[in-house]
Structure 1
Amino acid sequence: MSHTVSIRNIRQVTHDVKEFKVDKPDEFEFVPGQATEVSIDKPGWRDEKRPFTFTSLNGEPDLEFTIKIYDDHEGVTNELDSLHVGDQLIIREPWGTIQYKGPGIFLAGGAGVTPFIAILRRLAREEQLEGNRLIFSNKTEEDVILQEEFEAMLGRNFTSVLTDEPADGHVYQDGFIDKAFLEEHISDFDQPFYVCGPMPFNEAMLGYLKELGADPDALVFEE
């Protein structure tokens, strides 16, 4: 089933990430971490479907998506960047493989953090964040999505890793998340690990975690 929804608000989150709030259809529900296929309700775009994760929670009046804009080619996100309040999107039924299975380590690369946003927001609302940690890799400080919110929610359990510029500030580590980094910063590999990012990031993280003794059944990642 598909739903046509109107854009209620657009907010610039980072230099290349926007937050879109849209109408929430009656009785529409999803599990934090899930996504839906979205297309733009304009001629030539209605069949161009792309998966985007819900970053709002079920109890909120609107649906929210936090979307990285790729302006280097004429694709869906580039077209989304040109939309305004009142324009319409088409959304479908929720789906997704990342679901919360208990306190653990969230490993995110770039826009791959989006499935974790609703999960962590729900845990914060329910005061269940204890035991969870987010390690978030980006190229530069200006690329970090929702940095202040993650700091406020997680405090010292939020680690921001920058790969393309020196670290500046107590929450940053400079370099790449590799096997040595994980071994140095994580003392317990007998817990759930949630992994989402570009495919090379996912494959590398899952390989490192298995080598370090993490249980394959405890690895939750977007397929």
Structure 2
Amino acid sequence: MDNYVVKVLQAVFITHDVKRFVVEKPEGYHFIPGQATEVSINLPEWKDELRPFTFTCLRDENHLEFIIKIYNDHKGVTAMLGRVNKGDELIIRDVWGAIQYKKPGIFIAGGAGITPFIAIFRDLYQKDQLKGNRLIYSNKTSEDVILAEELQKMLGDDFINIFTRENVTGFMGKRIDRKYLIENIADFGQHFYICGPSTFVKSISNLLIELGATADEVVFEK
């Protein structure tokens, strides 16, 4: 596995606990929208602490971007990333990942699970090929939504927010369960893209297959 030391060009919080990192892009480094890499902090005590993060930038840009949820209560890698600033260094590795766009369908994301979809949506939007896709995005509260304005601009009425811990006028205050899927999806023969906590992905994948989706049409990180 190749290692690339990259300098942080920008590091800013975009929600109360989500931070955007723009870093140098190694020469000849390529990825497909939806893919990820292993990242660590270039400090002696942290450089071997690898964590997977998804690229959120367009692949033809001259930098790389990661949008990362910071868990300060864990006292681990993301908490340390919360203290990383412009001029510091990260280490990235080879590209990997199974979440790749195949054809129009429904994207279902939980929390920071939106990140693989950001690069996919940006790529399709740039090509004017986003029509026919829909995003169902579940978060605890409205304050947890990542890139809400950009997603709304790109997807319009096909951007659906669901909040599990608050009832906000104009939005769904519920969970994505069997009843919700039946009431809101007419065609289970289309493609589905799922990303979020492992229990979220497993539960929704199983429900979709029970309701008629085939395993080949349900795309998630295995």
TM-score of the superposed pair, with normalisation by structure 1: 0.98
For residue 12 of structure 1, report the CA deviation from its aligned partner: 1.4
The Cα offsets for residues 53-87 of structure 1, whole Å up to 9 and x where unpaired, read as 00001111110000000000210000011111000
1:49 aligns with 2:50: yes
CA distance in 1, matches of 2:26, 2:14: 25
The Cα offsets for residues 16-47 of structure 1, whole Å up to 9 and x where unpaired, read as 00000000011111000000000000011010
**Matched AA of 2:176:** I
**Matched AA of 2:68:** I
**Matched AA of 2:72:** D
1:108 aligns with 2:91: no
For residue 102 of structure 1, report the CA deviation from its aligned partner: 0.4
The Cα offsets for residues 72-114 of structure 1, whole Å up to 9 and x where unpaired, read as 0210000011111000000001000100010000000000110
CA distance in 2, matches of 1:167, 1:210: 31
Residue aligning to 1:179: 178
Where 2:172 maps in the other structure, the secondary structure is strand
The Cα offsets for residues 164-193 of structure 1, whole Å up to 9 and x where unpaired, read as 000223xx2110000110111111111110
List 4+ stretches of structure 1 deviating above 6 A: none
1:81 aligns with 2:78: no
Matched ranges for 1:192-203 at <5 A: 192-203=191-202
Root-mean-square deviation over aligned CA pairs: 0.7
Matched ranges for 1:156-167 at <5 A: 156-167=157-168
For residue 14 of structure 1, report the CA deviation from its aligned partner: 0.8
Residue aligning to 1:140: 141
Where 1:39 maps in the other structure, the secondary structure is strand
For residue 204 of structure 1, report the CA deviation from its aligned partner: 0.8
Where 2:94 maps in the other structure, the secondary structure is coil
CA distance in 1, matches of 2:4, 2:94: 9
For residue 207 of structure 1, report the CA deviation from its aligned partner: 1.2
For residue 125 of structure 1, report the CA deviation from its aligned partner: 0.2
Corresponding pairs, count: 221
1:129 aligns with 2:130: yes
**Matched AA of 1:90:** I
CA distance in 2, matches of 1:168, 1:121: 28
CA distance in 2, matches of 1:176, 1:66: 24
Where 1:174 maps in the other structure, the secondary structure is coil
CA distance in 2, matches of 1:97, 1:74: 29
Where 2:66 maps in the other structure, the secondary structure is strand
Residue aligning to 1:71: 72
Between 1:89-98 and 1:207-216, the stretch displaced more is: 207-216
1:119 aligns with 2:120: yes
**Matched AA of 1:147:** A
For residue 11 of structure 1, report the CA deviation from its aligned partner: 2.1
Percent identity, please: 55
For residue 142 of structure 1, report the CA deviation from its aligned partner: 0.1
CA distance in 2, matches of 1:192, 1:47: 37
